[in-house]
Amino acid sequence: MLEEAKKRDHKKLGVELDLFTFSELVGSGLPLFTPKGTLLRDLLDNFVWELRQKHGYQRVDIPHITKKDLYEKSGHWDKFKDELFKMTTREGHLFTMKPMNCPHHTQIYARKPHSYRELPQRYASTTKVYRDEQSGELSGLSRVRSITQDDAHVFCRITQVKEEIQKVWYMVHTFYESLGLKLELHLSLRDPNTPEKYLGNQNHWNEAERILREVAKENKTPYIEALGDAAFYAPKLDFMATDSLGREWQVATIQLDVHMPDSFDLNCINEKGEKERIVMIHGAIMGSIERFLSVLIEHFAGAFPIWLSPIQVAILPITEKQNKWAEEVSKELKANGLRVELDNNNETLGKKIRQAEMQKVPYLLIIGDKEVVAKSVAIRKRGEGDLGQLKLDKFIENVKREIEKKN
């Protein structure tokens, strides 16, 4: 297993597959994503956004810095001030690079009064946060200082909580099933022996923990109660993924927050025309996209499913005589939305195949004289070998169906 883990090391594969890099001039813990790596991130984030759109989420955008006042009010300043990047303006005001997004989202909700009829309000943004991790703790994409989060928050009434959590639950399972990652559930609770670590009303905490426990039971999902693993402001459902080497990773999370609505006095106007305190659900599908990518690269050993592969098809003409048909094939594949790389370099076919296989490309289309005459392609599939000759339109039909299924 140790040898296999070395082969799958995301730090090694990230370089070989040209997904990301680091620069001493930029700084440790600050990854730079290449075009292929950025595409991979976008494909994952777009899938999450597709799921969220179906459930009524709206995109919002927030700045990367804030006055410390925001985090003093939320409670984050006292907990994490030593881990924050801070700066002082020319006028002497203390600002910080945001380490999380939830307090900003509260201020979007708080911009105006909301009728109960307008709830739930569902905000989502994929954005960076920053944490001053110590150099010795940094490791590839697993632990970084610049963290991209696919963050979302639901502002709703207590009577709407279960339905909204079920929507996030569905999104989490749909996303991870498409990647073949099995999930286990942890119910992360307060440690009753250290109440000073947690903010908020004890009765509210009891209610939130009860609701999360009921959601797990209603979904007939066994869970482990993890005392002391709650966030300082909320209990949560943490989803643990097991990779192909049997290692467990914390990935998605759903948090039921009754503290922050109190801190920021977040309400709606109810049926009686009175102010009613709302609750807040935090939901991240991937969590830290950098950390999630480290898990995903190692899980697949860089051989991503076709819908997620930066290059889906490599076209390999045997000699330059087949270049014209190879270019037509490339054009047709691109017109059908496929991500294609045409290797018309003056190299041997064997070398072209080796290079494409090192890049973990799912399909290699080899084009010789027979394929030119028949207006077809000879297919070589990753992990399966040669599949024979097929008409181009039929190949496109088959691949598009495979991509649609996300398998």
Six-digit token pair at 8?
């799958």
The answer to whether residue 126 scores a pLDDT higher than 80 is yes
Q: How far does CA 199 lie from the centroid of its chain?
A: 28
Q: How far does CA 175 lie from the centroid of its chain?
A: 9
Q: Which residue intervals of the chain bear CATH 3.40.50.800?
A: 306-405
The answer to whether residue 188 scores a pLDDT higher than 80 is yes
- Going by pLDDT thresholds of 50, 70 and 90, the confidence category of residue 362 is very high
Residues present in the chain in total: 407
3-state secondary structure of 359: coil
Q: What is the spatial distance between Cα 216 and Cα 42, in angstroms, rounded to a whole number?
A: 31
DSSP 220-288: T--EEEEET-SBTTB-EEEEEEE-TTS-EEEEEEEEEESSHHHHTT-EEE-TTS-EEE-EEEEEEEEEE
Tell me the β-bridge partners of 273: none
**Whether 314 contacts 360, CB under 8 Å:** no
3-state secondary structure of 297: helix
Residue 174's pLDDT is what? Answer: 95
Residue 140's pLDDT is what? Answer: 93
Q: What percent of the chain has pLDDT over 90?
A: 83
Q: What is the spatial distance between Cα 57 and Cα 164, in angstroms, rounded to a whole number?
A: 11
Residue 124's pLDDT is what? Answer: 97
- Annotation: CATH topology of 2-300: BirA Bifunctional Protein; domain 2 (3.30.930)
3-state secondary structure of 303: coil
Q: What is the spatial distance between Cα 295 and Cα 40, in angstroms, rounded to a whole number?
A: 13
**Whether 296 contacts 179, CB under 8 Å:** yes
**Whether 376 contacts 389, CB under 8 Å:** yes
Q: What is the spatial distance between Cα 161 and Cα 120, in angstroms, rounded to a whole number?
A: 9
Residue 79's pLDDT is what? Answer: 82
> Other C-beta atoms within 10 Å of 169: how many?
21
Six-digit token pair at 325?
């048909």
**Whether 131 contacts 287, CB under 8 Å:** no
Q: Which residue intervals of the chain bear CATH 3.30.930.10?
A: 2-300
- Annotation: CATH topology of 306-405: Rossmann fold (3.40.50)
Q: Which residues contact residue 90 at a Cβ distance below 8 angstroms, ignoring those fewer than 6 apart? A: none
Which DSSP category does 156 fall into? Answer: E
Q: What is the spatial distance between Cα 285 and Cα 149, in angstroms, rounded to a whole number?
A: 9
pLDDT digits (tens, 9 = 90+) for 73-125: 998 888 888 889 999 999 999 999 999 999 999 999 999 999 999 999 999 99
Residue 199's pLDDT is what? Answer: 85
- Going by pLDDT thresholds of 50, 70 and 90, the confidence category of residue 1 is low
CB contact burial 247-281 (16+ within 10 A = b; e otherwise): eebebbbbbbbbbbbbbbebbbeeeeeeeeebbbb
Q: Which residues are catalytic?
A: 102, 131, 149, 151, 153, 236, 282
Q: What percent of the chain has pLDDT over 70?
A: 100
pLDDT digits (tens, 9 = 90+) for 234-282: 999 999 998 878 888 899 999 999 899 999 999 999 999 999 999 999 9
Q: What is the spatial distance between Cα 240 and Cα 247, in angstroms, rounded to a whole number?
A: 10
3-state secondary structure of 34: coil
- The mean pLDDT value for 22-42 works out to 96
Residue 313's pLDDT is what? Answer: 97
Residue 6's pLDDT is what? Answer: 82
**Whether 310 contacts 406, CB under 8 Å:** no
pTM: 0.92
Six-digit token pair at 30?
């600050």
Residue 407's pLDDT is what? Answer: 63
The answer to whether residue 3 scores a pLDDT higher than 90 is no
pLDDT digits (tens, 9 = 90+) for 370-380: 999 999 999 99
Phi then psi dihedrals of residue 375, to 5 deg: 50, 50
Q: How far does CA 124 lie from the centroid of its chain?
A: 13
> Other C-beta atoms within 10 Å of 406: how many?
15
Output helix, strand, coil percentages for the chain, rounded to the nearest 5.
40, 30, 30
> For all residues of the chain together, what is the average pLDDT?
93
pLDDT digits (tens, 9 = 90+) for 312-356: 999 999 999 999 999 999 999 999 999 999 998 888 999 999 999
